[in-house]
Chain A
Amino acid sequence: DIQLTQSPSSLSASVGDTVTISCQASQDINNYLNWYQQKPGKAPKVLIYDASNVETGVPSRFSGSGSGTDFTLTISGLQPEDFATYYCQQYESPLLTFGPGTKVDVK
């Protein structure tokens, strides 16, 4: 199976900050990497697909980059509604896997 690691596992930030979350794959996954946001008690919501494409309706402060094994999710100008947990997910293998998550909370 393809393993995904995320760093950091958690971070504290303030409204207006720029936040960067990393996701590393155990092997080359091309750009088959998606990012989700999940709030407590809710289903996840896709933010970025194929490493860098912003899903329709997602604010432009969210961006993604990377290919191969190293990927980044950036939130430019954190908003109050962005405090949540973020997951990466790969689909290079049909046995899909998620990263362990990064929790973004209030500093």
Chain B
Amino acid sequence: EVQLVQSGGGLAQPGGSLRLSCVGSGFTFISYGMNWVRQAPGEGLEWISYISGDSDTIFYADSVKGRFTISRDNAKNSLSLQMNRLRDDDTAVYYCARRVFGFNYYFDSWGQGTLVAVSS
């Protein structure tokens, strides 16, 4: 069974930092591109970052570019999101999501979500 288990998150002050993690199991982790998607309270979904299986290709949404860093450790089946210079509007539930294998680009498996709250 494919599983993505998230950890990290919590409360941070504006300007502070947090790190999110996501561990995959039940599949060949290196074969899949991975993403982070967030959802502010009561709002819609926002894709924020993608990393290819070999880490060669990385994309960020403009809203987090220069502040957030996506990375992965395939030896540990682990995906991370380092979030720096946090702002109030970064408050959201953050999901890791697996890109389906192949040319198509949709999210076929999701983590359980973790809440990041940015407040002074």
Contact = CB atoms under 8 A, between A and B. Distances in A.
Interface of A: 1, 32, 34, 36, 38, 43-44, 46, 49-50, 55, 87, 89, 91, 94-101
Contacts of B59: 94-95
Contact of B95 (A34, A43, A97): A43
A44 B45 CA distance: 9
A91 B97 CA distance: 15
B45 A98 contact: yes
A27 B107 CA distance: 22
Contacts of A49: 100, 104, 106
Contact of A43 (B47, B100, B110): B110
A96 B105 contact: yes
A94 B50 contact: yes
Contact of B44 (A55, A87, A94): A87
A44 B107 contact: yes
Contact of B105 (A32, A87, A99, A100): A32
Given A43-B111, A43-B113, A34 B46 contact: no
